[in-house]
Amino acid sequence: MVAIKYLNREQGFYLFLMMSAYVSTLVFGTYYYMADLPKLYIPTYGAFILFSLYGLLSFLSQIGLVTLFRLSITTALLAFFNQVYYTGGVLSSGLLEFVIPPLLAFFYRPIIDRYFFMALSGISLVAMFILTSLGFTTNLLPKALSVQHGILCAAFVFTIVSIYTFLFRNALVIKNKKIGDSMKELQDTTHKLIQSEKMASLGMLSAGVAHEINNPLNFIKGGIEILEDGLNEENELKFEAAPSIHVIKEGLSRATVIVNSLNHFSRHTDSMDEKCNLNEILNNSLVMLQPKLKYKGEVVKELTQNIPVITGNEGKLHQAFLNILSNAEQAIGKNGTVTVKSKQIKDKVVVEIIDDGEGINKENLKKISDPFFTTKPVGKGTGLGLAITYKIIEEHNGKITVTSKPGKGTKFTISFLSK
Amino acid sequence: MKNTILFVDDELINLFVLEKRFETDYNVLTAESAEDALKVVEENKSSLNAIISDLRMPGMDGLEFINQVKPNILDIPCFLLTGYDFTDQINDAIKSSKIHYLFKKPFDYIEIDTKLKEVL
């Protein structure tokens, strides 16, 4: 059975055919030999020799399986015919054996052979009827053996039929499963591609949107400052308006922070010589995630002030850290915690992003940097986030290590050489 | 004697607030497009001290405009005031000292005032 797995359908089929042919001719041959019935055991052993020859041929020559299959089925049919002929014709308990050749032919591919052997089997059956009714056939079996022989024949037919039906069914089921799997894979990939396309166009648009928001912010800021200036001579009015002006200014500065963070994520430069402050990058990324994190959990910031800047591409680093932080945000449940640390260890700047979320199992941990690997449902994740992150960190000569315990949480450690 | 500065922006409201905000300390000229601004520069060659232009505008953009003005027509400090972040183009322009500085919208009066005082 194990060997079958690695053979194609036709090869597996033929292997089984030959095996059952060897076993059955040997069993029947020996049975008839012990009953001392030369007219039965000589042809049966003859069939065994022929089958062995075919087996040898399939190893030694280039004869195709189809040809060997035809030879084997014909040989089997002849052996059955002889057996039935000498065990009582249509009254023989071996009559059911005529089911086997059409069954084999039916499960075998080349369509013309299939019908040919079905017809041949049918003709043999009809011929056997005619021969029996004309009184040509004989029953050489002693009376004492007839029940035993009947059981043997029935067992033989039953075994062959069940094995081949099982084999055929399995082959079909495996094939269907394979088709189903590849269909699903195709659908998943299509979804992911659509999703990543969507994300890409969103990124492109956000730069323009940020700019457009900055203009109205500019109006408001200018307007409120002019108003404030105008109120300078009106002390009483100025005192009354102060809280409202403060509120407007506060709103303005919050909106400005958000829009500026957005701006960092849609930078167009490819240059790798910008001075990047990792603390600023982490803060900007947290601003972007604030709408989601605010209602879900807590962010603990342990950022070391005045850590050395690193040289690289600010926009890309923003993207990399946003990806890791956003994974942390998605991993935590209600009241979870995301801890963000930055520190200097000798000549290295190290960032740690720790969540107490669901964690990643060992098997998946190996795959997290593979493009398109995701455990999120179709349409939710592209499986590109961390793949891109790894690439960006690599471009900055950084190192990224992940440790995780299912149920406990995940820790990302990213380190860069500071120059 | 007040310094004269030119603001270029395609948004009228931006020009309005900038003019109002700066008019106490500066003589403010405004232009709604780079094309108009070129005319203003020609007309005020002798009195103009600095230019602050938006980057993205219909027609000629801020960088093109400044490239035309400087140094052929007038060699004065030029600034960008934009809602966009740095791009390679802007970085190049700053390196080649065509652009003195990039201000980000929403504008900060004190920041602009300080930078202007540094160069004027």
Q: Quick one: angle between helices A314-331 and A278-293, nearest 10?
A: 40
- Higher-confidence residue: A68 or A155? A155
Among A residues 199-238, those touching chain B with beta carbons less than 8 Å apart: 207, 210-215, 217-223, 225-226, 229
- Higher-confidence residue: B76 or A366? B76
Asked if residue A33 has pLDDT above 70, the reply is yes
For chain B, the structural domain boundaries read 4-119
Percent of chain A with pLDDT over 70: 93
Partner A contacted by B75 (CB < 8 A): no
pLDDT of residue A324: 93
- Higher-confidence residue: A366 or B25? B25
B84 CB-near residues (< 8 Å, 6+ apart): A207, A210, A211, A263, B55, B56
- Nearest by CB: B106 against A207, A217, A269: A217
- Measured between its terminal Cα atoms, the distance across chain B in Å is 12
pLDDT of residue A4: 40
Which of A206, A213, A218 would best serve as a mutation to test chain B binding (most B beta carbons within 10 A)?
A218
The string of pLDDT tens digits covering residues A331-348 is 998 889 999 999 999 889
pLDDT of residue A164: 78
Closest-CA residue of chain B to A257: B106
CA separation for the pair B38, B45 (Å, rounded): 10
A-B contacts (CB, under 8 Å): 75
Distance in Å, alpha carbon of B7 to nearest chain A alpha carbon: 14
One DSSP character per residue, A366-415 reads TTTTSTT---SPTTT--S-HHHHHHHHHHHTT-EEEEEEETTTEEEEEEE
- What are the backbone dihedrals phi and psi of residue A276, each rounded to the nearest 5 degrees, phi first? -115, 125
- Nearest by CB: A215 against B20, B83, B91: B83
Partner B contacted by A270 (CB < 8 A): yes
CB pair distance less than 8 Å for A213 and B83? yes
One DSSP character per residue, A215-238 reads HHHHHHHHHHHHHHHHHTT-HHHH
Per residue of chain B (120 residues), give pLDDT as tens: 889 999 999 989 999 999 999 998 999 999 999 999 999 999 999 999 999 999 888 889 999 999 999 888 899 999 999 887 777 778 888 888 789 999 988 899 999 999 999 998
The token pair that represents B34 in the structure block: 């780079």
Asked if residue A388 has pLDDT above 70, the reply is yes
- Higher-confidence residue: A29 or B90? A29
Asked if residue A193 has pLDDT above 80, the reply is no
Hey, which residues does A350 pair with through a beta bridge? A343, A415
pLDDT of residue A1: 39
Asked if residue A73 has pLDDT above 70, the reply is yes
Strands A399-405 and A409-417, by their bridges, are: antiparallel
Partner B contacted by A253 (CB < 8 A): no
The string of pLDDT tens digits covering residues A179-192 is 888 888 888 778 77
pLDDT of residue A110: 62
Partner A contacted by B113 (CB < 8 A): no
pLDDT band at A8 (very low <50, low <70, confident <90, very high): low
CA separation for the pair B69, B86 (Å, rounded): 21
Partner B contacted by A273 (CB < 8 A): no
Asked if residue A400 has pLDDT above 90, the reply is yes
- Higher-confidence residue: B47 or A108? B47
pLDDT of residue A409: 92
The string of pLDDT tens digits covering residues A272-311 is 888 899 999 999 899 888 888 888 889 999 999 989 999 9
Percent of chain A with pLDDT over 90: 33
CA separation for the pair A291, A188 (Å, rounded): 29
User: Whose CA is closest to A122, among A99, A94, A156?
Assistant: A99
pLDDT of residue B8: 96
Residue A312 identity (one-letter amino acid): G
Partner A contacted by B98 (CB < 8 A): no
- Higher-confidence residue: A396 or A270? A396
Note the ipTM here: 0.75
pLDDT of residue A142: 87
Report pTM.
0.52
pLDDT band at A379 (very low <50, low <70, confident <90, very high): low
Contacts A207 to B, Cβ<8 Å: 84-85
Domain B4-119 fold: Rossmann fold (3.40.50)
One DSSP character per residue, B50-113 reads EEEE-S--SSS-HHHHHHHIIIII----EEEEESS---HHHHHHHHTTSS-EEEESSP-HHHHH
